[in-house]
Copies of this chain bind each other. A is one copy, B any other.
Amino acid sequence: MIDFDKLDKLIHEKGRLSIMTLLAARPDWKYQDLKAELNMSDGNLITHLRTLYKAGYVSMTKEVEKRPQTSYALTAAGRKAFEDYLAVLEQILKSGRG
């Protein structure tokens, strides 16, 4: 039996799921690169990143050389949470594909 309660709400929301998937695919992302990949307003993107940061899933690094920019990366806790989330997706896929 699949435990749907394990589908972490913080990750399951579509916008945050897209962010977590991108962050999991590379060691770190500059804000502008994230924004270029996602079909999302600055307001939504920043709100979602802040939610993930507050949950401890995402780290933020502000660089002040030249022009300031912020980079984002998964924390160890964020990677673990995402792995747990993917494990549920895998069960859904196995069940759905028989």
- How many residues of A are counted as interface, with CB atoms below 8 angstroms from the partner's CB atoms? 27
Give the distance to chain B from A24, nearest Cβ to Cβ, in Å: 5
| A86 beta carbon closer than 8 Å to chain B | yes
> How often does this chain occur in the complex, in copies?
2
* Cβ contact of A9, chosen from B2, B14, B25, cutoff 8 A: B14
Do A17 and B92 have beta carbons less than 8 Å apart? yes
Interface: A89 (CB within 8 A): yes
Contact residue among B1, B12, B24, B96 (Cβ-Cβ distance under 8 Å from A14)? B12
Binding site for B on A (CB under 8 A): 1-2, 4-5, 7, 9, 12, 14-15, 17-18, 21, 24-25, 37, 39, 82-83, 86, 89-90, 92-93, 95-98
